[in-house]
Structure 1
């Protein structure tokens, strides 16, 4: 038995999938609950006029929550920013590095620090957003805030911080009790939920002449090509051959078989673009709400469509590719485990030489992966800025949707294979999951 029918017949997997879908449903319901004190009509006008700016990208990652200014308006980005900060501090602070090596207890402590950081960043972002909204108006001149003042600021900060904390809890629950990575699935759900709206915007732009008709089939062809390229790159592997030495136990001979060590071209997955986007949005968002001349100039320079934005965005993607790969994959540990189990790479001495060889191969793969991610995320963004296409058709959005879908299907398939099911593919498991 294969496919969804096979998945539905596994009680544990069925519960996990249903739990994940229910958590996503709760999240999407929360996106529709507005924050008190906001003029919804004026806010809709404002976002309609700034759909292809930084606000449009922020709105994409929040799943439309910012456009509605709902209780989830900050989205999951404060949590991602806090995770980045904690991981960077783990490298430079010995106490945090020691915690990360203490097993489950240490990871729980680091997770607790990440939660504290998320709340702190949410308070800061919530305050600046509330202060900025008080002085903003829609294109028609209507104020976005109905009654400005201290009460509005306190209510907004408390609401947005609580909403982000709740999203963080939802993501952790999905990761632990559901299927897939909860945080990635929340971003995935937000992007997919806004796709119909993006299609409607594109059709309206074609009707009004803002988007040339000839560009639509070109855009569709480019999207299909990008999706196909992403699937190929995300499942591609570099297989390092592994040979195991023969062992004689009593009258029997064990081992001697050949295997391989699979290394993905893009080891870090969709994490670098998400991290880079989070870092780019945090200072630019705050700057957009502070009416100071030099802050406005910096904010404008870092907005999508500028040369500085592309350079900084690409640099961050490359940095997080290497950083996340270094954090998650340890060549020394892999080489040590191979040595303990009698495994070796043909032509490479076990131990230090093996670790150096794996690190060399991994570095080259990371360079290729960083170039691939940069091209996928930056090139469509340039087209978006030139033709005012919604962000939902950009490379970053497509990369997240396809990458998270592949990862989630792979996890579902792993559960099925453990129980002798064939998975979703008739010919066997998907490439990259063997």
Structure 2
């Protein structure tokens, strides 16, 4: 990886793209530390030191690079865009109009991207309103004595200014991500997501060292680093694993030319769903605690939810979390990969799987293989999301959003691998030494 970056900096046009990407990243991180209007920054820092976040709030805090709880202009980060993208991807299967746009190629993709932008702004308004209302009521931070004083001016005008500022910040983040995609290296939104998560690593690791008891915390610190490297190696191994379905194309004569006669393969990844099932499961499990928080009830049901579904270490929470991850892995794979469509396209262009008849038998075979590899992929997702939490809970009270937890590691490794692949592909396009020889 480091060799690829070193070679890229020696290439003038790639060096410009890398420096442009780094400049956008600096702007993004600066915006993540500028407080929104009407926020008492000193009291926010006091509450952050006294409180802990988990569940969906902790997930959003991670995706915003620590800007959410500090209530900055980039407090919402890229979470509205991620949510809008997932919603549009799910609706593509349900709404025929979106499915037709997806098949139109570049023009249809541009239209879906435009819809994603509109939905991102709408979600930013909703999430910004919820964040400001929660901050005004003092419910944003638990066990903080000055939580209700974070927003001193509770007038409608100040609330509107805060919501508009956060919505504009989300639009600016979306624009910065698109600039990286167009003029930089890699996918812009993925790069910003990578930076947001990586930005929380140093503080979290140092907190583990400060709370450690063996050799002033250095033993716990070193153990966490070692386990982190092992997890990264495991995730890289599984993320690169794939089942290759061989495909052959029959020769066709069109005029005097012969087409086809080639062989290729369909790569089916073991983890076809990526990190989406973990995000879905975390979001769904946060709903019960959210209901209890806003209801203010002290009944038996609310106490039971607080005891079993808030801490993240109770067996009930772990079991339900694991089952939801496995379910959403199968659900997302089912809507993102259509065996019937792949089989029809193969049949249309004269392709076939050796030993399998074209058409319906091919679709059934692809579905059979996909289900078999989704099982280990879904179990891997569940384990990678839960084992770090359980194993590292003794080091600084790690929760489900621990830096070396499943969601953060999956995203960082996935984005890192994809970015390095793009850099290497662009380097190969500019290196003609092998052809000249």
Give the TM-score taking structure 1 as reference length.
0.83
Q: Which of 177, 195, 200 pairs up with 2:183? A: 177
Alpha-carbon contact 1:45-1:139 (below 8 Å) kept = no
- Residue 294 of structure 2 aligns with which residue? 290
TM superposition shift of 1:284: 7.2
Decide whether the 8 Å contact of 1:34 with 1:70 is kept in 2.
yes
- The Cα of 1:176 is off from its aligned counterpart by 3.5
Task: Show the counterpart of 2:204.
Answer: 198
C-alpha displacement at 1:33, in angstroms?
Answer: 0.8
Counterpart check, 1:63 vs 2:65: yes
Distance 1:70 1:252, change over 3 A: closer
Q: Within the alignment, does 1:17 sit opposite 2:18 as a pair?
A: yes
Tell me the distance in 2 between the aligned counterparts of 1:186 and 1:289: 31
Correspondences of 1:8-407 after superposition (within 5 Å): 8-51=9-52, 53-54=54-55, 55-136=57-138, 141-142=145-146, 143-206=149-212, 215-245=220-250, 258-277=263-282, 283=287, 290=294, 292-293=296-297, 302-303=309-310, 304-307=312-315, 309-311=317-319, 313-383=321-391, 387=395, 388-389=397-398, 391-407=402-418
TM-score computed with the length of structure 2 as normaliser: 0.82
- In 2: Cα distance, 1:316 partner to 1:288 partner: 21
The alpha-carbon distance between structure 1 residues 33 and 321, as it changes in their structure 2 partners (threshold 3 A), is same
- Please give the alpha-carbon distance, in whole angstroms, between the structure 2 residues aligned to 1:268 and 1:122: 25
What's 1:408 paired with? 419
CA deviations on 1:23-42 (whole Å, 9 max, x unpaired) are 22221111011112222222
Equivalenced residue count is: 419
1:91–1:97 CA contact under 8 A, matched in 2: yes
| 2: CA distance, partners of 1:187 / 1:24 | 11
| CA drift at 1:330 | 3.5
Rate the CA distance shift 1:217–1:351 in 2: closer, same or farther, 3 A.
Answer: same
Query: Aligned in 2, Cα 1:278/1:53: closer, same or farther, shift over 3 Å?
Result: closer
Please tell me whether the aligned partners of residues 242 and 268 of structure 2 are also in contact (alpha carbons under 8 angstroms). yes
Q: After alignment, is 338-347 or 284-293 more displaced?
A: 284-293
- DSSP 3-state at the match of 2:244: strand
Separation in 2, partners of 1:253, 1:309: 60
Shift of 1:418: 3.2
> Residues 400 and 252 from structure 1, CA distance in 2 versus in 1: closer, same or farther, beyond 3 angstroms?
closer
In the alignment, structure 2 segments of 5+ residues that lack a partner are none
For the aligned residue pairs, the C-alpha RMSD in angstroms reads 3.4
Deviations 1:83-112 (A, max 9, x none): 222333332233333333333333333323
How far apart are residue 323 of structure 1 and its match? 4.2
